[in-house]
Structure 1
Amino acid sequence: MSFKKGALLLGTVMMLLILVLGFTGALNISSFRTSYTDSLVASYAVAGSDGVRNIEYALKYGKPLENFNDMEKILTDIKSISPGIESVLVVSPEGQVLYNHQGKVDSEHLSPEILKKLRVDSLAESDYRYVAFEGKYHIFLPLVDRNAKWVGSLDMVFNDQVIESRVSIPKAESLQYLYILVALAALLLFICHIKIDFLEPDGQLKKKLFLAVVLSILTVAQIAYAGINYYMYRNVYYEMARENTMVTANIIQRDIDSVVSRGVSYNELYGIEKWMQTIIKSVPQIDSITISDDNGKAVYSTDQQGMQLEQSKDSAYLYSLPLKTGGGQNKLTVTAGINISLSREYIKQKSLAIALDALTVLIIAFFFMVEITLFLLVYIKQEVNRMARAPSSEGQRKKIGSIDAEMIRPLAFFYFIASSMAASYIPLIMKDLYQPMWGLPKEVVLGLPISAELLCAALSIIITGYIIERRGWRFPFFSGLIFMGLGLLLSGLAWNGEVFILARALTGIGYGFSWMAMRWLSTSPTQQEEKTRGLSAYNAGIYAGFNCGIAIGAMMADRIGFSQVFFIALMSLLIVVAFAFSFIGKVESEQEEIKPDFIGGRISTFLLDPGVIFFFFLITIPLAVCSMFMDYFFPLFGASVGLSTSDIGRGFLIYGLCIVYLGPWLGGFVEKRLSPWTASLLAAFMTIGALGLFSWRGGTVMAIIAILIMGLSDSFGTVAQNNYFLSLPATQKVGESKALSYYSTVRRLGQVLGPFIFGALAILGAMRSVGLISLACLALLLMFALLSRTFVKSATEVNLPG
C-alpha cells in the first residue's frame, strides 16, 4: 500500500476511533450529570417541601401570602439545611419575587425566559420542577391555599458549579482512559499496517481483510472503554446515591427530632409512614425508610418486610442516623434511630443504561466504519483513475459520471442521518407543545406533525417526477435540502403546535424532493447492471443512515433536549450539501428521455384495474396504517411507561437492524420458496400478528417484540409486495417507474391516515385500540387473499426482477 493511501485510510480510522470513544465518553458524562442533577434537586425538594407545608398550613387558616410575617425564618431554615443553595425565594404565579431568605422584596421579577421554560401553567399539577438559566438552577415547589388554588411558588436557587464540581472528577478519569485507549489502538493499527499486506497483486485494496482488522480493533477499544466506564460509573453512582441520601436523612432526622422534642412519643407519629413514602417517591435513590426504637426494633417502615428484615440488609447500602427522644425539651436522650436503605435497583438501572449506550454506540460505530471506509475506497479509486487518464473526451465524461454515481451510498448515508435524528420522538414533542386544536381529540392532534410530514412528502414525490423530466435531478435535490433545512430550523424553534406542524410539513416537502432525486440518480445509468448496483448502494445508504440517525438523535435528546437535536440535524445537513457539491455535482444524466405513453384516460384505466384496487386498498393502505404503530404509537406508549428517549430510539434501531442484516438473507430465502403473492400475504400476516400480540399482552416487552416481528416482516415483505405489484398486468402496461410512483404515493397516504386512526381509537385504551386495528386489517387482508386469487397465475408466470 502506498504511503499516501495508507496514511489517508489510517488517519480516517483514527479520527473515527476518537469520535466513537469520545461520543461514548460524552454520553456517559452527560448521563451522570443529568442523574446527579435530578438526584440533588430531589434532595433539595425534600428540604423545600417542609417549608411549603409550614407556609400552606398558615395559608389554609387565611393568612395572606403577600403579608406573611414569619416567611424570613421559614426560608432561612430551608437554606440552612440545604448545602449549596444560594437563595430561597417565594414568587407569585406571574413571576414577581415576594420574599427571599432575608425578608420581603419589592419590585423584583424572575426572567420571562425562566417562566417560559418552567411552563407555569402546569406547575400546580406537579410536586416540583426545575429549570436551568444563565448558570443557575431554579427549583420550584407550588404553594396552594385552602381552596387548593395555586397562589405562588417556592424557588430554591443554586449555582451550576455545585454540579460541575461533582461531575468534573469522573469526567477527568474518563478522559484519561480515553487517551490511553486511543494511543494503544493507534499503535496496534500502525503495527497492522506494517505487518499485514492489505493489497491485492493488482494493487487493489483487500476490502474484507481491511474492514475485519479495523472493525476488530474498533470493537475491542469500544468494549474496553465501555467496561471501564461501566465499573467506574457504577461506583460513582453509588457514591452519589449515598451523598444525596445523607442530605435527605439529615432533613428527616431534623423534622422528626423537632416533633419528638416537643414531648410527642413515637407511638403518636400518626401519618409518618405516608410522609416517608412521599420522600421515597421524590428521591429514587432511596429504597426504604425505617424508624427503630431504642431496642433496634422497627416501629415505622415504608417497606412491609422492613419491619423484620432491616437488620439483614447490607450495611454498605444502609445509612443510619440517631434520633432523639425523651420526656420533654429539657430531657433528651439518643435512644432511637432512622435507617435509610439505598436502592440497588436504581444503581443497577444506571449501570445498565451505561452498558446499553455503549452497545448502541458500538453499532453506530460499525455502520460509520463500513460507510466511511467504502467511501474512501471509491474516492481513492476515482483519484487513481483520474490521474491515469488523459484529458477526457465526451465518452470519458460519461464514464466519470458513472463512477461518481457510486457516491450515492455515502450521500444517502449522510442525508438519512440528518433526516432521521428526530424520527423517534416527533409525537413526544407535540405532546409538550399540545394545546386544543380545531376541536380534534388530543391523541389525534399528537399525530398531526407526522401526518403533515408524510402527506407533503407524498405530494412532493409526485411533483418531483415531473421536475426531473424537465430540469434534471440537481434542482429538486438542492431545493429539497433547502426545504428540509428550513423545516429543521423551524422545528427546533417551534413555540406552539401549529408552528411545529408547519415545520414538519416543510421537512416533508424537502424529504420528498431530495429522496426522489437521489432515487432517480441511483438508477440513472442506462446499463441494467450499473442501475441495479446504484439502487442497491442507495438502499444500503438509506438503512445505515436511518439506524445511525435514529440512535444518535434519541441518545442526544435525552441529554440536551428535543429542540437542540434539530439544530444538530441542521448542521449535519450542511455536510450533505458540501458532500453533494464536492462528489456528486458532476454526474451527468445517462437515462434516455422518458416519453409519457400512459396519460389521460389510460391513467384511470390503471387506477381502476381490480388487481390494483385490491392491492392498494386491501393490503398497501392497511399495512401502512399498521406501520404507524412504531412511528406514532410506540413513542407515546414508551414515554407513558417510563422509557427514556434513548430506549425508544433503540426500539427503532431493532427494526432497522432487522432490515439491514436479515433482509438480504430472508429475502433470498423467501424468493426461492414462495411466490410474491404468498410472500406478501405471509409478511402482512406477520405485521398484523405483531399488533395482535401486543393487544393480547401489552407492556414494554411485547411492544419491543412487536417491533422486532414488524422488522422481520418488512425485511422481506417490502420486496415481495413490490414484486407482486410489478407482476400485475395493469402495472406492466403502465410501466415500472410510473407504477412504483403511484404505489409509493398510496403507501404514504396510508401512513398519513395511521396517526388519525390510532389517535381516534386511543379512547379505548392502548391494548384495545391496537387490537381493533389489527382485527380490521386482518379482515381486509383476508378479503385480499380471496379476491386476488385470480391474479396469482399472472404474478407467478412473469419474469420478476430480483
Structure 2
Amino acid sequence: MTHHSPFRRASLYAFGAIALVLGTAIVACTAIAYGAFERELRPEAMRKAETVGRGIDALVAKTVRWQVPLAKLPGLDALFEGIQKDHPEISWVAIKSEGKIIVSRGDASVAKNSDNMVQLPLITADEPATLEIGVDPAWVARIFREMLLDMAVILVVALVISLELALYLAGGGVLRSLAVLAHSVRSAGAGNFAIVRTARADGEVHAMLASLARAVDTLQQRCLTIGAAKLAEAGTKFHWPTQPVPSVGRVNTSNILGAMRAPFFLSLFADDLQRSFLPLFAGTMSTGPFDVSVNLVVGLPITIFMLVVALSQPVLGSWTERIGRRRAFLAGAALGMISHLLCAQATTLVELLVFRGAAGLGWAVTFVAAQGYVIDNTDRETRTRGLAVFVGIIMTASICGPSIGGILADGLGPRWTFVIGGVLGLFATLLAWRDLPDARQAAKLVAPPRMRDYAAALANPRFAILLAFAAIPAKVILIGYVFYLLPLFVADAGYSAAMSGRIIMLYSVMMVLLIPVTTELLERIQQSRGVRPQAAFVAGGLALSGLAGLLMLLPLGMAGAVALTVLLGIAQAFSIAPQSSMVGDVSAAHKHLVSESTIYGVYRLVERLGNAAGPLIAAFLLQVSGFETAFASIGLAVLICSAMFYVSFRGSMRAAAP
C-alpha cells in the first residue's frame, strides 16, 4: 500500500488557503482597476482626440496663405485614413461648413452622441468651418474587456505560479524536514531505531533528530541493564514489528522530484513565453539574399526547434545517464538561457534559426534529464506518480507561458520578452545548481538504439499504421493549428499577441482538466465491459480534431478560433493517453525482436518529426489557399486518417481486457 505524506491533508488545506487569498486579492484589484479605467479612460480618449484635432487645424491653417478653398484641399482623405489607422479609438473625422459635410471618414452615427464628440473651429481661406472628431464608444468597451481578460489570465497564472512556489518552498524546506522527522518516529515505533541515526534534515528538525537519537541511546543502555532474561520474558508479551521501513534522508524519491520541479518548470516556462508571438516576430526578420515566402519564414523557427528536439532525444538518454543527470540538466538550462538572450538580439532569419535550434537542444537536454530523474528515483509502484508529477509540470508551464508571453510582447515587445525568458532560464540554472543532487545510478548504462533497432520496430505493420494514421496526424494538427496558424490568424484579424496567448492557454487548460477524466473513463469501460476501447478513443479524438478544423469554414471569426482550440484540447485529451497505451499493445508480439524502450523511442521520435512537419505543411497550405482553406485541409486530412485508423484497429477493441 502506498503511504502518503503525513502532511498531505494539511498541505492541501494550505494550498487551498493560498489560492483563496490570492484569488480574492486579484479580483479586488481588478474591480478597483476597472473603476479607475471607467473614470479615466474616456476623458483621456477625448483629450487625445482634441490633440489630434489641433494638429489638423494647424495643417489647414497653413493653406490660408495660398487661398486654397477647403473643398479643393488635396490629401484630406489620406490624412483622415492615417489618423484612424494610428488612433483606432477615433471612428469619425469630418469637416463641416454651414451645416454641410465637406470631407469625412468613418461611422457617422458616432456624431449623434455629443458626449463622444470633439468640435474645433478651423481657420480657412473661405467660409468658416468646423472639425468634428468622434471617439468610438465600442472602443472604450473593448479596452475594458481586454483589461478584464488580461486580469483573468493573470489570476490563473498567478495561482499556478504561487502553488508551484509554495510546493518548492514547502517541499524543499519545512514539509521535507517534517516528513523526515515523522518517518523517523514511525520507523522507531516499528522497531527500526537505525533510521533515527541515518536520517538527515535541516534546521530545528536536525536538532530534534539528534535529541531523538540520544533518547534511543538512553533506551538502549537501559535495555542492556535489564539483562537478557528480562528481555526474553518481555518478548513473550511484546512483539516487535518485522516489516522493514524504507530508508529516508535528504536524497529520496519525493525530495528529488521536489528539487527537480522548480528548475524544470522555469525552463519550460521560459521557452513557452514565445509561443504566442514567435511566428509574427520571425516575419519581421531580414532573410538576406534568400528569397523565401513570408508564410514559410514565420514557420521555420518552430520547425527547426522541433526538428532539433526530435533528432537529439534518441541519444540524450544514454548521454545524460553517462555524465550524470545533474550536469546534463545544468548544461541544458544554461544553453536555453543563453539561447533566449541571443534570440532577443537576432536581426536576421538565419540568426534566429540558429538560436532557436540551440534553444531546442537545451529544451531537449533538460527534458531528458528531468525525465531521467523520475525514472532513476522511482520503482514500479511509484513510477506512475512520478510521471504524473513530470507531466503536470509540463502542462502547468504550457498554461502560464503563452498567455503571459502574449501580454509581455504587447507591453514590452518580443525582444524584451525573450530577455525575460533568459532571466527565467538563469533562475532555473541557479536552482538546479543549488538543489539537484548528483546521484548517479549504479545500473548498467543502456546503449542508444541503432538504425537496425528502428527498422525492426517499424517492420511491425500495426505499429507503422499507428504512427502513420494517429501519432503523426495528431502532432501535425496540434503544432500546425495552435502554434503556427492560430497566432497568424489572430494577428490578421487585428488582435494582439495577448489575445493569441489567451486562446492558446485554453488548449492546455482543456488538457489539464480532461486527461484525468479520460483515463478514469477508459479504465471503467475496460473493467466493466471487458474490452480495450483505446482504438475508439484515439479515432474519436482524431475525428474531433479534424472537425475542429472544418469549423473554420464557417464565418465565425474569433469565436471560431476559440472553438477550434477548445475542441482540439478536448480531442487530444481523449486520445493522447490511449494512444501511448496502444504502443505497448500493438508491439507486444515483437518484444522478442526489439526492446520496449526502443519501441517507445521510435514512437516519440516519429511524434516529434510530426511536430516539425506541422508548420511546414500549414505554411504551404496558407501560401496557396489562405487561412480557412488551410485549417479545413489539415482537418479533412486528419479526419480521413481517423477513419482509416478506426478501420485498421476496429477488431482490437473486442479483445478482452487483461
Q: Shorter-chain TM-score category?
A: 0.7 to 0.9
Once residues 325 and 452 of structure 1 are traced to their aligned partners in structure 2, the CA distance between those partners, rounded to angstroms, is 60
1:12 aligned partner: none
Matched residue, 1:381: 175
CA distance in 1, matches of 2:407, 2:303: 24
CA contact (8 A) 1:260 1:266 kept: no
Q: SS of the residue aligned with 2:381?
A: helix
Q: Deviations over 1:363-408 (max 9, x none)?
A: 0111012222233332322222456664428973678322322314
1:94-118 CA-partner distances (Å, limit 9, x unpaired): xxxxxxxxxxxxxxxxxxxxxxxxx
Q: Which residue number in structure 2 is paired with residue 180 of structure 1? A: none
Measure, in 2, the Cα distance between the counterparts of 1:596 and 1:278. Answer: 64
Residue 432 of structure 1: CA displacement? 0.7
**433-442 vs 605-614, which moves further:** 433-442
Aligned to 1:724: 582
Kindly tell me: are residues 486 and 292 of structure 1, through their superposed partners in 2, closer, same or farther at Cα, counting changes over 3 Å? closer
Q: 1:236 offset after TM fit, Å? A: 2.7
Which stretch has the larger CA shift, 364-373 or 691-700? Answer: 691-700
Following superposition of structure 1 onto structure 2, how do residues 496-507 of structure 1 map, counting pairs within 5 Å? 496-507=348-359
In the TM superposition, residue 272 of structure 1 has moved relative to its aligned partner by 4.8
CA deviation string 1:562-619 (max 9, x = no partner): 11222211211122222223332155548x5466798785653321110111011122
Counterpart position of 2:219: none
CA distance in 2, matches of 1:735, 1:797: 25
**1:368 equivalent in structure 2:** 161
Q: Which of 499, 503, 520 does residue 372 from structure 2 map onto?
A: 520
Which among 305, 310, 322 is matched to residue 453 of structure 1?
305
AA partner of residue 16 (structure 2): A
The secondary structure found in structure 1 opposite 2:247 is helix
Match of 1:753 in 2: 613
Who is 1:51 aligned against? none
Give the aligned residue type for 2:517: W
Q: 1:544 to 1:587 in 2, by over 3 A?
A: farther
Counterpart amino acid of residue 659 in structure 1? M
2:404 corresponds to 1:543: no
Aligned ranges for residues 206-285 of structure 1 at < 5 Å?
A: 206-256=10-60, 259=63, 272=76, 275-285=79-89
8 A Cα contact 1:401 1:586, kept in partner: no
Paired residue type of 1:392: T
Q: 1:289 to 1:788 in 2, by over 3 A?
A: same
Task: Give 2:222's aligned residue.
Answer: none
Cα deviation, residue 355, structure 1: 1.2
The offset of 1:429, in angstroms, is 1.7
Deviation at 1:204, TM superposition (A): 6.7
> Where does structure 2 lack aligned partners over 5 or more consecutive residues?
185-194, 201-245, 526-531
Shift of 1:263: 6.1
**Cα separation, partners in 2 of 1:574 and 1:397, compared to 1, 3 Å:** farther
Provide the C-alpha distance between the structure 1 equivalents of 2:462 and 2:164, rounded to a whole number of angstroms. 40
C-alpha separation in 1, matches of 2:649 and 2:164: 42
Q: Is 2:624 the partner of 1:763?
A: yes
Whether the 8 Å contact between 1:404 and 1:586 is mirrored in structure 2 is no
> Aligned-pair distance for 1:293?
3.7
Deviates more, 1:724-733 or 1:684-693: 724-733
| Alpha-carbon shift at residue 730 of structure 1 (Å) | 4.6
Structure with bigger RCO (C-alpha 8 Å, 6+ apart): 2
Q: How does 1:722-801 map to 2 (within 5 A)?
A: 722-728=580-586, 729-730=588-589, 732-733=591-592, 734-761=594-621, 762-789=623-650, 791-792=652-653, 796-797=655-656, 799=658
Structure 1 counterpart of 2:237? none
- Is 531-540 or 635-644 further displaced after alignment? 635-644
After superposition, the Cα gap between the structure-2 partners of 1:529 and 1:715, relative to the gap in structure 1 and judged at 3 Å, is: same
Amino acid corresponding to residue 53 of structure 2 in structure 1: A
Deviation at 1:671, TM superposition (A): 4.4
Relative to structure 1, the CA distance from residue 695 to residue 594 in structure 2 (aligned partners, 3 Å threshold; closer, same or farther) is farther
TM-score normalised by the chain length of structure 1:
0.67
Q: Which residue of 316, 321, 331 corresponds with 2:120?
A: 321
Percent identity between the two aligned chains: 22
- The alpha-carbon deviation at position 681 of structure 1 amounts to 0.4
Counterpart secondary structure, 1:400: coil
Bigger mean CA deviation after superposition, 368-377 or 746-755: 368-377
Q: CA contact under 8 A between 1:291 and 1:339: conserved in structure 2? A: yes
Alignment-derived partner of residue 203 in structure 2: none
1:466 and 2:318 correspond? yes
Asked if structure 2 preserves the Cα contact closer than 8 Å seen for 1:421 and 1:554, the reply is yes
CA 695–737 in structure 1, closer or farther in 2 if over 3 Å, else same: farther
Closer/same/farther in 2, CA of residues 597 and 341 from structure 1, 3 Å limit: closer
**Aligned residue identity for 1:317:** N
Q: In the alignment, what sits opposite 1:650?
A: 502
User: What is the CA distance between 1:679 and its match in structure 2?
Assistant: 0.2
CA distance in 1, matches of 2:59, 2:415: 41
Using the alignment, how far apart are the partners of 2:251 and 2:133 within structure 1?
72
Letter in 1 for 2:460: D
Which of 318-327 and 635-644 deviates more? 318-327
Q: How far apart, in 2, do the equivalents of 1:399 and 1:227 lie?
A: 45
Alpha carbons 1:322, 1:336 under 8 Å: kept: yes
Tell me the equivalent position of 2:221. Answer: none
Measured in 1, the distance between the counterparts of 2:67 and 2:446 equals: 97
SS where residue 121 of structure 2 aligns?
strand
Contact kept, 8 Å, 1:483 with 1:506, in 2: the verdict is: yes
State how 1:151-230 maps to structure 2 within 5 Å: 206-230=10-34
Cα 1:434/1:443, change in 2 over 3 Å:
farther
TM-score (normalizing by structure 2): 0.81
Q: Does 1:338 align with 2:98?
A: no
Change (3 A) 1:326 1:798: closer
1:429 aligns with 2:223: no
**Alignment deviations for residues 304-337 of structure 1 (CA, whole Å, 9 cap, x no partner):** 645xx83x31x3211112245686xxxx8xx543
Residues 495, 207 of structure 1: CA spacing in aligned structure 2 closer, same or farther, 3 A cutoff?
same
Deviation at 1:284, TM superposition (A): 2.2
- Between Structure 1 and Structure 2, the one with more strand by share is 1
Does the 8 Å contact 1:683/1:716 carry over to 2?
yes
Shift in alpha-carbon separation, 1:643–1:202, aligned structure 2, 3 A: closer
Q: Deviations over 1:215-234 (max 9, x none)?
A: 22211111111111122133
- In the TM superposition, 1:46-65 aligns within 5 A as none
**Aligned residue in 1 for 2:469:** 618
Q: Any idea what the Cα deviations from partners look like across 1:748-793, whole Å, max 9, x if unmatched?
A: 1011111211112222211122222222333333222223345555
Deviating more after overlay: 403-412 vs 448-457? 403-412
Q: Which AA in structure 2 matches 1:473?
A: R
| Contact 1:289–1:303 (8 Å) recurs in 2 | yes
Q: Sort the Cα spacing of 1:397 and 1:668 in 2 relative to 1 into closer, same or farther, 3 A.
A: closer
Q: Tell me the secondary structure at the aligned position of residue 321 of structure 1.
A: strand
Residue 16 of structure 1 corresponds to none
Distance of 2:40 and 2:276 partners within structure 1: 30
- After superposition, the Cα gap between the structure-2 partners of 1:277 and 1:584, relative to the gap in structure 1 and judged at 3 Å, is closer
Paired residues in the alignment total 586
SS at match of 1:527: coil
Contact 1:222–1:362, Cα closer than 8 Å, also in 2:
yes
Q: Which amino acid aligns with 1:709?
A: L
Distance in 2, Cα, partners of 1:768 & 1:550: 26
Maintained 8 Å contact 1:409/1:540: no
Q: Secondary structure at the match of 1:349?
A: helix
Structure 1 residue 260: deviation in Å?
Answer: 6.7
Q: Which amino acid aligns with 1:302?
A: R
SS at the partner of 2:376?
coil
Pairwise mapping of residues 119-138 of structure 1 onto structure 2 (< 5 A)?
none
- The answer as to 2:484 corresponding to 1:678 is no
Following the alignment from structure 2 to structure 1, what is the Cα–Cα distance between the partners of residues 249 and 461? 43
- Indicate if the aligned counterparts of 2:256 and 2:373 stay in contact, CA closer than 8 A: yes
Q: Distance in 2 between the 1:446 and 1:255 partners?
A: 40
Larger deviation: 275-284 or 544-553?
Answer: 275-284
CA contact (8 A) 2:92 2:104 kept: yes
Residue 725 of structure 1 aligns with an amino acid whose one-letter code is V
What is the RMSD of the two structures over their aligned residues, measured on CA atoms? 3.1
Alignment of 1:63-142 (within 5 A): none
